[in-house]
Amino acid sequence: MKIKSRFSYVFMIALSTALVVTGSAWNTPTAQAANVFSDNFESGNAGNWSSTTGTWNVVQDGGSYVYSQSGNTEGRTSAGSSSWSDYSVQADVKIDDFNGNNRTYVSGRYVDGNNYYAASISNSNGGTLEIRKKVSGSSTTLASKTDIPITAGTVYTVKLEMNGSSINMYLNGVLQLNAHDNILTSGGIGLIAYKTAAKFDNVIVDGADGTTPTPTPTVAPTTAPTPTTAPTATPAPTVTPSPTVVPTTGPTATPVPTSPPVSNALYVSPEGSAGNAGTLGSPTTLSSAITRVTPGGTIYMRGGNYSFSSPVTVERDNSGSPGQRKSIAAYGNEKPVLDFSAESFGSTERGLQIFSHYWHVKGLEVKGAGDNGIFIGGNYNIVENVEVHHNRDSGLQISRYSSSLSNMSDWPSYNEIINVYSHDNFDPDNGEDADGFAAKLTIGPGNVFDKCIAAWNTDDGWDLYTKSETGPIGVVTIKNSIAYKNGQTSDGNTTSNSDGNGFKLGGEKIAVNHIVQNSVAFQNKKHGFTYNSNPGSIQLSNNTSWSNGQSNFAFDTGTHLFTGNLSFAGGASDKTSGTDVQSSNVWWKSGKSVNAKGLVASSSDFVSLTPSVVRNANGTISLGNFLKLAGGSDLIGSGTPNGTNIGATFQ
């Protein structure tokens, strides 16, 4: 097999991860095993790549063909598969001209020019290495290191490695930086020269097993044994809330089937005994199984009602690992219901408490707790396709598990809440604490809510409150989610202290730059979306807020960033302190629709304004025609980027 003379080797041959910088010359690698993808550009063209900005050409450099970006603006080019998830991408990089102190990236999970992770090198501050992310056009540095000599004309081997939420950066085969982020889960690769003149060669993509990477599943396998007692899934009803009609509390989700592994599984049932083996024929109890399951193992819960009079706790020292989560999952199509109604009202009377790390809870129903239905105090946990309701505090809360933890580094971080429905939570004391979801007071970075519903809670749908005693919390991301009819329960319970906001995004004048994307608030008692005195730069993009009691958007002060949001038929005028990105927002002010470019919204812009929320069996959400833009609406394609609709979009 032909080895490239001064830099890389023939297509589909791996590069050594221990290269040595040799001044301005390209390094000579040694051949290793086959890769998922490789390009050394010795063909003289870049047929595997798609450039979107900059000036890209395959040129000769020292006798080798390399991929060159020669412009002085941002140059971007990409390749690979959108389905790649956990993999590494490596390239040799030579920067001919920094044009000041600009950066050059090797990118992974590259979706487009506005969404990717990157290993960055620059000559600023004596040489800087960074792990960066760009999401919805906004860039963030996740980790950095300075005083690393980076000079023009020198070849550096730069590698970005992504495994779940863990991201590593290597320089010349040496691990330099680690970060954690779970916003982007899959995508191809990219080469980016941000205002630099740079050359790239020997681009290598390696998967964990040398095969094409695929997205890491967040659900259990879909082939399941058929339990003899499995009920038939009931289609989710349509919820049509009305001020004068008490609707149903919402659809009930039936978990998708799961398949027990051959080994490392424990089974529990309402009739199980703690001393039983935990087999399908001799099930144990949930509390016993939690102490016995090993990393990578799953606790399968049979259907039925599990009655508890005290919390079920996963203790701090009972963790899984990044590639070996511990799981609690519904068995097949059966519905396990964790019923804590026997608990007394009080702060120590929670339902399921997860103080540890790397757990995955899926397909359960949790109700009736004296405080939170589910409480998360650990890191890297996933709660998926769960219904939590009629608890006497917030349905699901993320906060520190011990008051002794005063540093944010010890607070719960990088947890994912996916397809969870939290409703009818009622605080019998004063109504101020029962939110659908509370990520507040003491949480770290990276917590994400995706495709969740908060409805009919006596306080707020989401509460991201901060307090002066503990200071700022980590940035929370909420996306593809819905908050409606908060401020009272579905049977009319409310108090004078019930706030009733859809998305409450701060507290006590402490700045935290939360992110809310493609979400909907309607018919909440107070505001649809509110900064709640957060003076920071909250990013709100492509959200829809309709017919909320006081106002649809309440952002009185701050430098918030608004992109493509839609407000219609609210109470008081929207308050929108911050930047109206490219005049892409349509507001509701003084009883009429307002837009800086002259766009207006009316009832004819919507297919339907009759509320309809359907939660499907797998936890996903459908609004049908409700708030869907009608054909011919001038709001279609009028957002930013060009061609993007204004407001939220649900299938």
Kindly state the average pLDDT of the residues 543-568. Answer: 97
Rg (CA), the chain: 26
User: Which stretches does DSSP call E strand in 373-489?
Assistant: 374-376, 382-384, 387-389, 396-398, 416-418, 421-423, 437-439, 447-450, 453-455, 462-463, 476-479, 482-484
> Same structural domain for residues 166 and 312?
no
Peptide bond into 641 cis (omega under 30): yes
Q: Which backbone phi and psi does 51 adopt, to 5 degrees?
A: -95, 140
Least confident piece of the model among 22-31, 77-86, 191-200, 411-420? 22-31
Nearest-5° Cα angle at 112, 11 to 517 = 145
Going by C-alpha positions, the residue among 483, 562, 570 that lies closest to residue 520 is 483
Q: What is the dihedral of CA 444, 446, 447, 448, to 10 degrees?
A: 160
Residue 10 clears pLDDT 60, i.e. is over it: no
In sequence order, the β-bridge partners of residue 540 are 516, 562
Q: pLDDT band for position 435 (50/70/90)?
A: very high
Domain end residue (candidates: 487, 516, 545) = 516
Q: pLDDT value at position 579?
A: 97
> Same structural domain for residues 442 and 557?
no
User: What type of residue sits at position 596?
Assistant: A
In order, the DSSP letters of 184-222 are: ----EEEEEEES-EEEEEEEEEEETTSS---PPPSS--S
Residue 32 clears pLDDT 50, i.e. is over it: no
Domain end residue (candidates: 482, 516, 550) = 516
pTM > 0.85: yes or no: no
How far is it between the farthest Cα atoms of the chain?
79
User: Which stretches does DSSP call E strand in 214-343?
Assistant: 265-268, 298-301, 304-307, 312-314, 326-330, 336-339
Residue-wise pLDDT tens digits, 616-626: 888 889 999 99
Question: Hey, what are 271's tokens?
Answer: 């009739």
- The CATH number for 158's domain is 2.60.120.560
Q: What is the dihedral of CA 252, 258, 260, 264, to 10 degrees?
A: -70
Helix (H) or strand (E) holding 38: strand 37-39
Domain presence at residue 383: yes
Question: Hey, what are 254's tokens?
Answer: 């039936």
Residue-wise pLDDT tens digits, 37-75: 899 998 889 988 999 999 999 999 987 899 999 877 889
Q: pLDDT value at position 27?
A: 54
Residue 409 clears pLDDT 80, i.e. is over it: yes
Compare 436 and 21 and report the one with higher pLDDT: 436
Q: pLDDT band for position 142 (50/70/90)?
A: confident
Q: pLDDT value at position 431?
A: 60
Going by C-alpha positions, the residue among 522, 450, 457, 458 that lies closest to residue 479 is 450
Q: pLDDT value at position 651?
A: 66
> Residue 645 to residues 100, 282, 506, 625, 639: CA-CA distances in angstroms?
38, 55, 28, 15, 5
Domain presence at residue 1: no
Cα–Cα distance measured from residue 215 to residue 498, given in angstroms and rounded to the nearest whole number: 42
Contacts of 285 (CB under 8 A, 6+ apart): 268, 272, 273, 274
Domain end residue (candidates: 516, 550, 577) = 516
Look at strands 304-307 and 336-339 and give their pairing: parallel
Q: What percent of the chain has pLDDT over 90?
A: 68
Domain presence at residue 286: no
Residue 441 is given by DSSP the state: S
Q: pLDDT value at position 496?
A: 77
Q: pLDDT band for position 354 (50/70/90)?
A: very high
Expressed as residue numbers, the domain containing 102 is 37-207
Going by C-alpha positions, the residue among 366, 337, 336 that lies closest to residue 351 is 366
Kindly state the average pLDDT of the residues 119-147. Answer: 90
What's the whole-number average pLDDT of the chain?
A: 85
> Same structural domain for residues 51 and 174?
yes
> Same structural domain for residues 352 and 501?
yes
> Residue 303 to residues 92, 395, 418, 555: CA-CA distances in angstroms?
55, 21, 21, 45
Going by C-alpha positions, the residue among 622, 648, 650, 627 that lies closest to residue 237 is 622
Residue in this structure with the two tokens 């301005």, named with its chain if needed: 24
Tell me which residues are annotated as active site: 504
User: Which stretches does DSSP call E strand in 123-207?
Assistant: 128-135, 138-145, 155-163, 166-171, 174-180, 188-194, 197-207
Domain presence at residue 644: yes
- The total number of structural domains in the chain stands at 3
> Same structural domain for residues 430 and 559?
no
Q: Are 276 and 282 in contact (CB under 8 A)?
A: yes
Contacts of 640 (CB under 8 A, 6+ apart): 563, 564, 581, 582, 584
Q: pLDDT value at position 197?
A: 92
Least confident piece of the model among 150-159, 178-187, 481-490? 178-187
Question: Hey, what are 642's tokens?
Answer: 């060009």
Q: pLDDT value at position 64?
A: 87
Q: Are 398 and 412 in contact (CB under 8 A)?
A: yes
> Same structural domain for residues 164 and 197?
yes
Q: pLDDT value at position 250?
A: 43
Q: pLDDT value at position 346?
A: 77
Residue 242 clears pLDDT 60, i.e. is over it: no
Q: pLDDT value at position 260?
A: 42
Domain presence at residue 430: yes
Domain presence at residue 218: no
Question: Hey, what are 257's tokens?
Answer: 């089937």
Cα–Cα distance measured from residue 362 to residue 224, given in angstroms and rounded to the nearest whole number: 15
Residue 420 clears pLDDT 50, i.e. is over it: yes
- Grouping H, G, I as helix, E, B as strand and the rest as coil, residue 288 is helix
Q: Are 369 and 267 in contact (CB under 8 A)?
A: no
Kindly state the average pLDDT of the residues 275-282. Answer: 94
Going by C-alpha positions, the residue among 353, 340, 432 that lies closest to residue 391 is 340
Q: pLDDT value at position 36?
A: 83
Domain presence at residue 591: yes
Kindly state the average pLDDT of the residues 460-464. Answer: 97
Question: Exposed, middle or buried: residue 279 (CB in 10 Å: 0-12, 13-18, 19+)?
Answer: exposed
> Same structural domain for residues 488 and 357?
yes
Domain presence at residue 16: no
> Same structural domain for residues 595 and 638?
yes
Contacts of 414 (CB under 8 A, 6+ apart): 165, 180, 181, 182, 379, 380, 444, 445, 446, 447
Going by C-alpha positions, the residue among 135, 94, 138 that lies closest to residue 116 is 135
> Residue 575 to residues 132, 425, 513, 522, 543: CA-CA distances in angstroms?
32, 29, 18, 17, 15
> Same structural domain for residues 92 and 165?
yes
> Residue 90 to residues 107, 161, 188, 191, 243: CA-CA distances in angstroms?
9, 8, 13, 10, 58
Helix (H) or strand (E) holding 289: helix 286-292
Number of residues written out for the chain: 651
Q: pLDDT value at position 7?
A: 33
Q: pLDDT value at position 238?
A: 37
Q: pLDDT value at position 247?
A: 31
> Same structural domain for residues 504 and 635?
no
> Same structural domain for residues 503 and 597?
no
> Same structural domain for residues 314 and 419?
yes
- The CATH number for 487's domain is 2.160.20.10
